[in-house]
């Protein structure tokens, strides 16, 4: 034993020990308080976001200009939200490795059929040269679609709920995965000519933010909140035809969303094709219009009617 070292009284040792214990308790308590406050803030933010999602309306549909199709082309405008810049993509270039005008195979477990033809003959009474379908009379009374709660099987999981923000306005749409990073949707969902819905198109703009949830449902949460079985992705690039962006032409009302993660690799995607004659189609998506569907619903609504294709 080294007698040269000063001896510390027992009471002093206990005092130091209690001081360290008090400090540890203080730090632990502070950490718990901070964690609780942080959790409460996150929960408040989550509930506010859920409220936005429940109350968001469909993206506004403005009046379409009557532009002759031959005056338009199928070139594409690309919007980068990080820089705010747009880039024109010639119609001959591929879109992330996929030509949007060509058929591509599906990536999933459902058979893909491409047995239609590209006939230009009149279909269901549509006169040749007509592009508005005004001479077609409805032949069926549509059957209301039914809600689908389990969206984790194919192909339901390839359908996505979209939430878009245009300035301070929030809207919802539906979309579908078409490869690892791409979601296909309507052009007016990502480039809207009347985002405030007042009938004036001077405020036309690209969406500031887009959130994407494949297979959204409320199967897990019983309090009415949305459940996201495959997580959430956000946009990194938006694209649409110039025929839509520049002329509001309904024939070009298509859009593509490039995501920040490979959601398509997880949920799969369906094939697609063009110039196919069909008389009946299955449909699926996330409608929110009341009384068509209940308000605040998070379900997919698939449906089908024989002969539901007019032309």
What does the pLDDT read at residue 34? 65
Ordered alpha helix ranges (H), the chain = 10-55, 187-190, 242-245, 263-267
Locate 95 and state its tokens.
């879109």
Q: Count the neighbouring beta carbons within 10 Å of the beta carbon of residue 177.
A: 31
Query: How many angstroms separate the Cα of 177 from the Cα of each of 259, 269, 270?
Result: 10, 5, 7
What does the pLDDT read at residue 102? 41
Asked if the peptide bond before residue 155 counts as cis, ω within 30 degrees of 0, the response is yes
What does the pLDDT read at residue 293? 86
What 3-state class would DSSP assign to 156?
A: helix
Cα separation of 213 and 231, whole Å?
Answer: 6
Q: Count the neighbouring beta carbons within 10 Å of the beta carbon of residue 92.
A: 8
Cα separation of 241 and 91, whole Å?
Answer: 9
Cα separation of 200 and 295, whole Å?
Answer: 27
What does the pLDDT read at residue 130? 37
Exposed (0-12), middle (13-18) or buried (19+): which is 73, by Cβ within 10 Å? middle
Domain 58-63+71-109+145-311, classified CATH 2.40.10.10, yes or no: yes
Given the DSSP bridges, would you call strands 205-206 and 303-304 parallel, antiparallel or unpaired?
unpaired
Length of the chain: 311
Q: Count the neighbouring beta carbons within 10 Å of the beta carbon of residue 161.
A: 26
Given the DSSP bridges, would you call strands 282-283 and 159-166 parallel, antiparallel or unpaired?
unpaired
Locate 223 and state its tokens.
């309090």
Query: Do 106 and 269 form a contact (C-beta atoms < 8 A)?
Result: yes
For the stretch 216-240, what's the b/e string if a residue is b when 16 or more beta carbons lie within 10 angstroms of its beta carbon?
A: bbbbeeeeebbebbbebbebebbbb
Enter the pTM of the model: 0.73
Whose tokens are 């490869």? That residue is: 179
What does the pLDDT read at residue 263? 92
Locate 256 and state its tokens.
């593509």
What does the pLDDT read at residue 218? 81
What's the sign of the alpha-carbon dihedral 221, 224, 229, 234? negative
- Residue ranges covered by each domain of the chain: 21-55, 58-63+71-109+145-311
Q: Which of these, 74, 79, 110, lies nearest to 94 by C-alpha position?
A: 74
Q: Which of these, 181, 166, 189, 163, lies nearest to 59 by C-alpha position?
A: 189
Q: Which of these, 295, 224, 230, 223, lies nearest to 261 by C-alpha position?
A: 230
Given the DSSP bridges, would you call strands 205-206 and 209-214 parallel, antiparallel or unpaired?
unpaired
What does the pLDDT read at residue 86? 93
Task: Give, for all 311 residues of the chain, the pLDDT tens digit.
Answer: 555 555 656 555 556 666 666 666 666 666 666 666 677 777 777 778 888 888 899 998 866 555 555 556 678 999 999 999 999 887 666 655 555 444 344 444 332 223 333 222 322 332 333 344 444 445 678 888 889 988 999 999 999 999 999 999 999 999 999 989 999 999 999 999 999 988 888 899 999 999 999 999 887 665 667 788 898 999 999 999 988 898 888 878 899 999 999 999 999 998 877 778 888 889 999 999 888 888 888 899 999 988 888 77
What does the pLDDT read at residue 114? 30
């Amino acid at each position: 034993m080294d007698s040269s070292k000063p001896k510390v009284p027992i009471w002093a040792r206990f005092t130091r020990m209690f001081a360290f214990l008090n400090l540890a308790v203080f730090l632990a308590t502070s950490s718990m308080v901070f964690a609780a406050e942080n959790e409460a803030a996150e929960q408040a933010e989550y509930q506010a976001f859920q409220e936005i999602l429940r109350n968001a309306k469909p993206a506004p549909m403005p009046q379409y200009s009557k532009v002759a199709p031959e005056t338009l082309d199928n070139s594409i405008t690309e919007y980068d939200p990080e820089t705010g810049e747009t880039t024109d993509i010639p119609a001959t270039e591929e879109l992330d490795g996929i030509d949007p005008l060509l058929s591509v195979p599906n990536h999933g477990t459902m058979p893909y059929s491409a047995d239609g033809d590209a006939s230009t003959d009149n279909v269901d009474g549509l006169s040749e040269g007509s592009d508005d379908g005004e001479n077609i009379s409805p032949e069926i009374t549509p059957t209301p679609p039914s809600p689908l709660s389990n969206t984790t099987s194919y192909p339901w999981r390839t359908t996505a709920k979209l939430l878009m923000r245009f300035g301070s306005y929030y809207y919802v749409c539906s979309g579908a995965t078409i490869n690892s990073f791409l979601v296909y949707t309507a052009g007016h969902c990502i480039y809207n000519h009347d985002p405030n819905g007042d009938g004036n198109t001077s405020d036309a703009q690209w969406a500031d933010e887009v959130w994407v949830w494949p297979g959204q449902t409320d199967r897990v949460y019983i309090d009415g909140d949305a459940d996201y079985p495959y997580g959430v992705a956000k946009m990194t690039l938006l694209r649409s035809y110039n025929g839509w962006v520049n002329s509001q032409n309904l024939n070009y009302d298509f859009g593509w969303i490039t995501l920040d993660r490979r959601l398509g690799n997880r949920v799969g995607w369906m094939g697609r094709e063009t110039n196919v004659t069909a008389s009946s189609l299955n449909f699926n998506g996330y409608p929110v219009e009341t009384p068509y569907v209940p308000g605040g619903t998070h379900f997919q609504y698939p449906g089908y009617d024989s002969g539901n294709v007019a032309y």
